Amino acid sequence: MKFLFILDPLESLKAYKDTSVAMMRAAQSRGHQVYYCEQADLYAKGGVHANAGRLALADNDEDWYRAHDKQRQALAAFDAVLMRKDPPFDLEYLTSVWLLSQAEREGARVFNNPAAVRDHNEKLGILEFPQFIAPTLATRDPAAVHAFIDEHRDAILKRLDGMGGESIFRVKAEDPNRNVIVETMTLQGARSCMAQRYIPEIAQGDKRVLLIDGKPVPHALARLAKSGETRANLAAGGRGVAQPLSARDREIAGALGPVLAARGLLLVGLDVIGDYLTEVNVTSPTCFREIQDQTGFDVAGTFLESLEKKIKGNAR
């Protein structure tokens, strides 16, 4: 089969831990042809196309790929198109999603489903499952944010378009900086943000639970914050420790998995702190390599097997 991966610039990917690289290596090892492009390579002219190049992947993490020259190719000519561009989910990302939806109408098979990605904000997506979330507020009203902080005394504020721990603040009721933090997060009432009650169990890790076609990978990656840091994200300096899913992890995964898979979300990353669901990641979920390296469970191979089944089950 012939797969197209839409990626961030190749030179920016850290092959020793990057999930997209793990996916591409697994695809190549199973005999598939791997192609790549960047978001800027997508365009519509007589159909949706990409300037895409063939990749040859090596096991060496320092010199991990050989890229062939890019050529114009219709997205419908690939057996699968995998959108693996990291957020922010800005206008350019949204434009790419619109183009991918049009490519689907032309016969392309895109994973995750672009309409589902468009409709699932990774922060607000938890609101669909209120039985699993801590007290949460989404608003642009600074007064409402202050009232939430006063009510819960300790809160986390997040931008709705952030990733990797970017622009996340822990704010206590007595924080002398709370006014400026709330002003910054809401742009004084011009931008919406999310507030969540602080969950002390973050000390035991912010767990990433992976769903592949609605089924949970048997190990989560508990991301532990470095000393003096609230954020446990790996991009913010946290470290990851793989661990078996807890009973609560499985309960959450069991409830969300079939719903999300039915919408065309082949790969989802649930963030769970203690007993609470905090995010539903659908753009480019990560943590394959950390789980594989620590447990031996072949996450990338499991994903490719599910992808192949989806393609064969929806053969042209």
Active-site pick, 233, 279, 289, 290: 279
Active-site pick, 84, 158, 178, 197: 158
**158 catalytically annotated:** yes
Active-site pick, 18, 213, 271, 290: 271
Q: Using alpha carbons, select from 306, 302, 267, 260 the residue that is nearest to residue 129.
A: 260
Active-site pick, 159, 207, 208, 289: 208
**279 catalytically annotated:** yes
**250 catalytically annotated:** no
In this structure, are residues 114 and 93 in contact, taking their beta carbons and an 8 Å threshold? no
Active-site pick, 159, 233, 281, 289: 281
**113 catalytically annotated:** no
Contacts of residues 145-153 at CB distance under 8 Å and 24 or more positions apart, as own/partner, are 145/182, 145/185, 145/186, 145/193, 145/195, 146/178, 146/182, 148/195, 149/173, 149/178, 149/182, 149/195, 152/197, 152/198
Active-site pick, 84, 85, 123, 159: 123
Count CA within 13 A, CB hemisphere, residue 286.
20
Q: How far apart are CA 280 and CA 128, in angstroms?
A: 10
**281 catalytically annotated:** yes
Q: Which residues lie below 8 Å from residue 24, measured CB to CB, with a gap of 6+?
A: 3, 5, 34, 36, 55, 57
Phi (first) and psi of residue 40, to 5 degrees: -70, -15
Between β-strands 154-159 and 193-197, what pairing exists: parallel, antiparallel or unpaired?
antiparallel
**17 catalytically annotated:** no
Q: Using alpha carbons, select from 125, 115, 126, 45 the residue that is nearest to residue 83.
A: 115
Active-site pick, 231, 233, 289, 290: 231
Active-site pick, 206, 223, 233, 289: 223
**123 catalytically annotated:** yes
**271 catalytically annotated:** yes
In this structure, are residues 129 and 270 in contact, taking their beta carbons and an 8 Å threshold? no
What residues pair up with 3 in beta bridges, in sequence order?
A: 34, 80
Active site residues: 123, 158, 208, 223, 231, 271, 279, 281
